[in-house]
Amino acid sequence: MDYLSTLNEPQYEGVVNTEGPAMIIAGAGSGKTRVLTYRIAYLIKEKGIDPFNILSLTFTNKAAREMRERIERVVGLNARNLWMGTFHSVFARILRSEADRLGYPSNFTIYDSDDSKSLIKTIVKEFGLDDKVYKPNVVLNRISSAKNRLVSWEEYLANPLYEADDAAAQKPEMGRIYKAYCQRCFKANAMDFDDLLFNTNVLFRDHVDVLNKYQHRFKYVLVDEFQDTNVSQYLITKKLSSVSQNIAVVGDDAQSIYAFRGANIENILNFEKDFPDLRVIKLEQNYRSTQNIVKAANSVIARNKGQLKKSVWTANDEGNRIELIKSISDNEEGRFVSSAIFEQKTQNNYQNRDFAVLYRTNSQSRAIEEALRKSGIAYKIYGGLSFYQRKEIKDLMAYLRFAINTADEQSFRRIINLPKRGIGTTSVEKMVVAAFEHDIPLWEVLTNIQAFLPGRAANAVEQFVTLVKSFQISIETKDAYEAASHIAKNSGLLKELYADKTVEGLNRYENVQELLNAIKEFVDTPDVEDKSLGAFLQDIALLTDADNEDPEDTDFVSLMTIHSSKGLEFKNVFVVGLEEDLFPSQMMMSSRADLEEERRLFYVAITRAQENLYFSYALSRYRFGRLINCEPSRFIEEVDPSFIFVNTRYGSREPQLGRREGPPGVTSNFARNLMASKKAVPKKPPQYHKPSADFRPSDTSNLQEGMKVEHPKFGFGKVHKMDTSGANKKAKVIFEDFGEKTLLLSFAKLRIVE
DNA sequence: TACGCCATGTTTTTT
DNA sequence: ACATGGCGTA
């Protein structure tokens, strides 16, 4: 019981009241993770609950892992059997074991957002739509938000409200794309991130026996970061605990920063309605930060209208004021940060790990990184381009994925001509289309290729099929590591990378080796029972970059976005890039007009700091390679000025727009002349034709000489000659403005005018 | 079909 | 600055 003696009163309440629904509203730094972990420990130790019956949901793998460690410290290895993980990973696991109920195989693939985007891109292309109007990002967001509100494509198409919405947004085909996207995913035996939640809802809705099973199993449900759950997630947890009523949610409405992902503060209000016996506990004492930091944070968040009543306070020392630094450029900002870190380290005995640099967008890491590297300070960048998003890794993963799930269209497209085997886009399209037209699996087309694609490419496809079949055999007979190395070697990927002796090529080769190492590690982990490649892929699909821990060298400065800093704390925190339009983000303001969420983000950034906090902004910054002028963020003025100390040591010079920093030396003159000479060659901007708004490509299979056509870029022209000699039909068209062009009919979008 | 040149767009955050 | 994609050429 000794671990309980360290708790204050509301924390204690939160730990020991394990029965019935509970909502713990926890201010920043009030020890919410501690309450959550002790609550679980209490359930196991004092209440004798089997860890097997406890489900604990978090938002990141990192948070889950940390919590498991902390619980193990109190209850020992007994915590092994806890169901603890992110929403996505826990329900992916459940979906795999119940997949047949939904008509999926249990080895379904999980599409990451890159896969989703490229699938959308091909659909848009196939529909003959303009991908400038139907941008993959925008379309995916729309689909994602529909799924997060549990609107299926059937409901979407049936509801005139969505139709009107899309028509107003000049995107009338959205419903059709949504439908095609879902059908393609299903046919590929794939689920995207949102499907994992959506389909869990479907599973529990349509299969009461399954729901009962898990309701019985999870007698206690705990949810961390409740303010960031979306409707889909909320309904799952609500259903699971509707029998036992033992649900505890922990969150802070002031730290809700994932509305763009469908997070819904209304969940907090709904929760009170759905569970009338709710016990509400407020944790308001902050143990993390100095008084100055807590008060400054309060002065910021007080500007938001829609917050729950809560007053965070601290008994800590007053502490230093927030230092505000203005720099002339992003590079100087980086230099300031690194010298301030250096000064603090030498004067006050801090280590690298006591510092974090937080920014709004990942791209801001570059300037900071450069400065830290120059001054020899160890650092680590979290997020950004993760290991698993690298091209070479995705390539090998695509081979592994395809061998296991031959319906996976995205992986297929990735590897069919990699390394080059003479199977071009045309052949790929034909194969995919054949699978759809005959309503058969893609694999069936591939194995009977002569029937669908007679000709030169067929041989290559047959070889590809033989290759994949041999991979499948090695996957069945060997463990994950041996199978993966076999595939890496025999696919020709390793060979191709090995041949590349550039620094980049070497790096990529090493990355592939690293992936293989990771697989080896997986195989060698004693806990893991299923050592097959399939098991590894399932394990890895939902893992992000947060996994790569370097145990030997742990003393580094942390660089990350504010989003990924949630839940963490550091003695010294730099919030950089406080410029209007960057933070608050222009994008966010114009698309969703949500200043309050940006402000909550600012609040999160401030409350990461324990002892010292720095704000920094630059008067000019590079964007798309161009220097732009910047205004200080409105957020700086929103902090009560009595908490701010303006540091005048830096930033006395004014920015020089349009040229790089530093005195114009030989190099920069040379560079400038080079630029000028390049500019001297006038680039004539091509005056492309603007296709009419209702431009739709026609079926060109019956195109005849003499027909008048419209091309989306070249405008109007007359078909001069048809060339049917080759494998691909071509048409020579004389355009009014561009002269004669030869167009491949399988590619070109042409509208037949008459 | 493969390769190289050039025009174009991109950056908000994450599972 | 950088990646992508279209188009022309071999």
Q: What are the DSSP calls for A176-192, one per residue?
A: HHHHHHHHHHHHTTEEE
According to DSSP, the residues that pair with A620 across neighbouring strands are: A629
A196 CA: nearest nucleotide by C1': B15
The pLDDT, as a whole number, for residue A687 is 45
Tokens of A699: 């079926």
The pLDDT, as a whole number, for residue A592 is 62
Q: What is the average pLDDT across A339-353?
A: 93
Q: What is the largest CA-CA distance in chain A?
A: 91
Which residue's CA lies closest to nucleotide C2 at its C1' atom?
A: A624
SS3 A132: coil
Quick check: A553 pLDDT over 80? no
Quick check: A269 pLDDT over 60? yes
Quick check: A667 pLDDT over 50? no
B/e letters for A258-293, b = 16+ CB within 10 Å, e = fewer, are bbbbbbbbebbeebeebbeebeebbbebbbbbbbbb
| Low-confidence winner among A153-157, A327-331, A339-343, A496-500 (lowest mean pLDDT) | A496-500
The pLDDT, as a whole number, for residue A528 is 78
CA dist., res. A241 & res. A248, Å (int): 10
Active site positions of A, annotated: 32-33, 224-225, 255, 608
| Low-confidence winner among A26-40, A58-72, A296-310, A667-681 (lowest mean pLDDT) | A667-681
SS3 A8: coil
At how many degrees (to 10) do helices A208-217 and A193-206 cross? 100
CA dist., res. A100 & res. A700, Å (int): 42
- Smallest CA-to-CA distance from A329 within A371, A295, A287 is with A371
Does nucleic acid strand B have an atom less than 7 angstroms from the CB of A363?
yes
Tokens of A158: 């049936």
Distances (CA, A) of A209 to A102, A213, A215, A429: 14, 6, 10, 42
Quick check: A270 pLDDT over 50? yes
Highest mean pLDDT among A281-285, A524-528, A683-687: A281-285
- Smallest CA-to-CA distance from A418 within A514, A476, A488 is with A488
Measure A52 CA to C8 C1' (Å).
Answer: 64
Quick check: A573 pLDDT over 90? yes
CA dist., res. A123 & res. A410, Å (int): 12
Measure A440 CA to B3 C1' (Å).
Answer: 35
Q: What is the average pLDDT across A3-23?
A: 92
Quick check: A662 pLDDT over 70? no
The pLDDT, as a whole number, for residue A495 is 84
Q: How buried is residue A69: exposed, middle or buried, by Cβ count under 10 Å (0-12/13-18/19+)?
A: exposed
Quick check: A196 pLDDT over 80? yes
Q: Cα A282 to the chain's mean position, in Å?
A: 32
Which residues of chain A between 399 and 458 are close to nucleic strand B, CB under 7 A?
417, 420-427, 457
Does nucleic acid strand C have an atom less than 7 angstroms from the CB of A730?
no
